[in-house]
Structure 1
Amino acid sequence: MYLKILGLMIIFISCVYIGKFMASSYEKRYIELLTFINFIDYFETEISYTSTPVIEILDSLTDKIKSPFKEIIIGVSEELTSYGYRPLCTVWEENLYNNKNKLSLSQEDLELLIYFGNILGTTDMENQKKYFTVIKSRLQVQLTQAYEKKLKYTKLFKELGIIIGLFIVILII
């Protein structure tokens, strides 16, 4: 009898955990987009007001940015420092794809991040600011969509986990 109750509790808790796990990807995507927008803001400020080279900005950002972007920035920074002859856009894209599994971003989000790496350091300061504005506005659209999905699906998956857990428990009883 006690084993049956313990088993039912384990099943219920597992279902609730699976629901929360599925909901967390929507929350992570929203946070990651917000983090990257802040990253672009910081980058834009550094380029505009201090005219700091890209490699130095990346080095200074490693302490200020959160994971999973921190690993990407560190990878890009180390690779550019070690192998300075490789183009920044190539190094950026490789590090983005190497850390893709750690990100909860959609394919469209990743394409925007790749685009950011492709234009980074390729033009003068004024055009760079214009590109940053365009990327940030497109990321804002993605952020709004991510927020709406977060509100919708987070609640859905959490409740679905509870309901399925209860259904299985009732079915077994």
Structure 2
Amino acid sequence: MVKLIGAALILFAGTMIGFMQASRYAARPRQIRQLIQAVQRLETEIGYGYTPLPDAFERCAAHLPEPGASIFRGVKERINQPEGLTFRECWELSLADHWPGTAMRIPEKTALIRLGSALGISDREDQIKHMRLAVQQLKAEEDTARDDQARYEKMWKSLGVLIAALVVILIV
């Protein structure tokens, strides 16, 4: 009876681990798409609304679901602090703080860091060009993420169950 309960727990745990890994592959393209929409909204706020950078980030964060909203809110909060940080420093610190909570990877972070180095230091047209470039880079990464999702999501679901079943067989 104890072996049966232990086997069921092992099978359940292995299955959940596989499903958690699969969910990260499913979340990545969705989060990249949300980030693309946020950058496009930021472009609109800066380009057509003539909105100051802190206000533009606040408005974008209001329309962005988590975990992306926390990145944008973190930038807005750091800009308003009296520490005298540049926008680039605020952007990079916010990315560093909130990035582990996302399913995104290094290429997306690199594109955002490049974008952050151009915002706030050049004229409106140059900032819009950098935002459009970031959107193009993020769209390419979204395509890659969708390919990875199609390739690895089912594999991780199956692998979790199969490895758990192997452990149960070896134990019993």
Is TM > 0.5 for Structure 1 vs Structure 2?
A: yes
The alpha-carbon deviation at position 5 of structure 1 amounts to 1.6
Q: Deviations over 1:82-114 (max 9, x none)?
A: 227321011100111122321222222111111
The match for 2:14 is 15
* Whole-angstrom CA distance in 2 between matches of 1:172 and 1:78: 53
Amino acid at match of 1:3: V
* Whole-angstrom CA distance in 2 between matches of 1:169 and 1:59: 51
The alpha-carbon deviation at position 16 of structure 1 amounts to 0.4
Q: CA RMSD for the aligned pairs? A: 1.6
* Whole-angstrom CA distance in 1 between matches of 2:76 and 2:11: 46
Secondary structure, counterpart of 1:164 in structure 2: helix
TM-score (norm 2): 0.92
The match for 1:149 is 148
The match for 2:55 is 56
The alpha-carbon deviation at position 123 of structure 1 amounts to 2.1
The match for 1:99 is 98
The match for 1:81 is 80
The match for 1:168 is 167
* Whole-angstrom CA distance in 1 between matches of 2:83 and 2:13: 49
Bigger shift: residues 11-20 or 124-133: 124-133
* Whole-angstrom CA distance in 1 between matches of 2:81 and 2:33: 30
* Whole-angstrom CA distance in 2 between matches of 1:11 and 1:93: 41
TM-score (norm 1): 0.91
In structure 1, runs of 5+ residues without a counterpart are none
Q: Deviations over 1:33-64 (max 9, x none)?
A: 11110101111111222111111111222321
* Whole-angstrom CA distance in 2 between matches of 1:52 and 1:12: 54
The match for 1:35 is 34
The match for 1:72 is 71
Number of residues paired by the alignment? Answer: 172
Amino acid at match of 1:10: L
Secondary structure, counterpart of 1:50 in structure 2: coil
* Whole-angstrom CA distance in 2 between matches of 1:84 and 1:166: 55
* Whole-angstrom CA distance in 2 between matches of 1:41 and 1:115: 16
* Whole-angstrom CA distance in 1 between matches of 2:130 and 2:70: 24
Percent of aligned pairs with the same amino acid: 27
Bigger shift: residues 27-36 or 151-160: 27-36
Amino acid at match of 1:132: M
* Whole-angstrom CA distance in 2 between matches of 1:107 and 1:146: 12
